[in-house]
Amino acid sequence: MTELSKSGAAVGEPTGTSPAPSSFLEVRDLKVHFPTDDGLVKSVDGLSFKLEKGKTLGIVGESGSGKSVTSLGIMGLHTAGQYGKRKAQISGEIWLDGTELLSADPDHVRKLRGREVSMIFQDPLSALHPYYTIGQQIVEAYRIHNNVDKKTARRRAIEMLDRVGIPQPDKRVDNYPHEFSGGMRQRAMIAMSLVNNPELLIADEPTTALDVTVQAQILDLIRDLQKEFGSAVIIITHDLGVVAELADDILVMYGGRCVERGPAEKVFYEPRHPYTWGLLGSMPRLDREQQERLIPVKGSPPSLINVPSGCAFNPRCPYADVPKDNLTRTVRPELTEVGSQHWAACHMTQEQRERIWTEEIAPRL
């Protein structure tokens, strides 16, 4: 295990509507709601964060916490593929390199996709088109944004495949996805997403579908490439272990909101939210004793239609009764600064949390 934080990826405080973005990427009060027959699904409900070039942000949460929707929102893909009458409702601001994306011309946003921002998906087998060769798919990604002939694009594809560590790239370029192994496919996927030197790379569960041994290779690859290309990276995962190595900052999501965020070392060593504690408890770690590991967070994720009142985590929180006046179940906690650049949303007092962490949680991890 290497160091946890290089610090510096500024995780800004929640801001109102100030139109001056200082960061490379700044998300302000993002809300993504989906109308369904059962009611309004509030997948993301007021999320804000910042990310600087060359830095890595890990967004962590269970499935359904809104982390993938957030990434799709940044890509401008939250409504894509939604045909028919019901469209997702999105509000807030997403500033990328000085441009606000939600109010921008959709065609402009489309042109940013794949060039400025690109994405790696969870399951490379299903994310790659089965009927086209790896080469064709990379060439296509390249030629959308670069006015070059096929030959040049193909050379670029081979170069990228070589860069991500695929042997005999000039031959494998003509293979179909089903002819690749899982890890190779993900390498190809990464090659495809980096073919245009994007400023921002979003990796959505990039290693979940892969073998444990391959996982580490892919993560190393992402880190190396980030260094080389200098891009900003968002890694979305349910597994804190994945971001432990990579992320400068960590943002923990629960029920469509941010419950804790801060520099990675803070979140790992001084977490200030009971949900983060739960996540840490369920994380396999190599630098700890082999005992009482993998404690899952009990209970199931909250309904995004009828979000529990008060703190959304309260039905699963073992410390729900610690704050007075039943506050946990009635009032929604706001993010408060708990340290330098470190924020958490919990009704417990700072002292209570410090005590519980140091006395009850940390020793068991």
Partner 1 sequence: MIAGHRKTSGGPRSRGGPRAVLAYLIRRLFAAAVMLVVIIMVVFGIFFLVPKWAGVDVATSFVGKQADPAAVEAVRVKLGLGDPIYVQVWEFFKGIFAGRTYAAGGDVTNCAAPCFGYSFRSEQAVWPVLTDRFPVTLGLALGAAVLWLLFGVSAGVLSALKRGTLWDRGAMVIALAGVSLPIYFTGLLSLAIFSYGLGWIDGEYVPLEESFTGWLSGMILPWITLAFLYAAMYARITRATMMEILGEDYIRTARAKGLKEQVVIRKHAMRSTMTPILTMLGMDLGALIGGAILTETTFSLPGLGQAVLNGIKNQDLPIILGVTLITSVAVLIANLVVDVMYAVIDPRVRLA
Q: Within 10 Å of residue 45's Cβ, how many Cβ atoms? A: 18
Which positions ≥6 away from 287 have C-beta within 8 Å? 1
Query: What is 201-241 written as a DSSP string?
Result: EEEESTTTTS-HHHHHHHHHHHHHHHHHH--EEEEEES-HH
For the segment 169-228, give every residue that binds partner 1 (CB under 8 A): 174-176, 178-179, 181, 192-193
Q: How far is the CB of 136 from partner 1 (least distance, A)?
A: 10
Q: Within 10 Å of residue 288's Cβ, how many Cβ atoms? A: 13
Residues paired with residue 42 on neighbouring β-strands, in sequence order? 33
Considering only 6, 7, 89, 144, the residue that binds partner 1 (CB under 8 A) is 144
Considering only 32, 128, 297, 338, the residue that binds partner 1 (CB under 8 A) is 128
Q: How far is the CB of 215 from partner 1 (least distance, A)?
A: 18
Among 298, 108, 127, which Cα is nearest to 206's? 127
Helix (H, G, I), strand (E, B) or coil at 95: strand
Count residues near partner 1 (CB under 8 A).
38
Considering only 53, 145, 155, 285, the residue that binds partner 1 (CB under 8 A) is 145
Q: How far is the CB of 78 from partner 1 (least distance, A)?
A: 11
Considering only 6, 31, 53, 110, the residue that binds partner 1 (CB under 8 A) is 110
Work out whether 115 is an interface residue with partner 1 (CB under 8 A): yes
Considering only 86, 87, 288, 298, the residue that binds partner 1 (CB under 8 A) is 86
Is the Cα dihedral 93, 99, 105, 111 positive or negative?
A: negative
By C-beta, is 3 or 107 nearer to partner 1?
107
In the numeric block, which tokens belong to residue 107? 């065609």
Work out whether 36 is an interface residue with partner 1 (CB under 8 A): no
Binding residues vs partner 1 (CB under 8 A): 75, 77, 80-81, 83-86, 110-115, 118-119, 121, 123, 125-131, 133, 140-141, 144-145, 174-176, 178-179, 181, 192-193
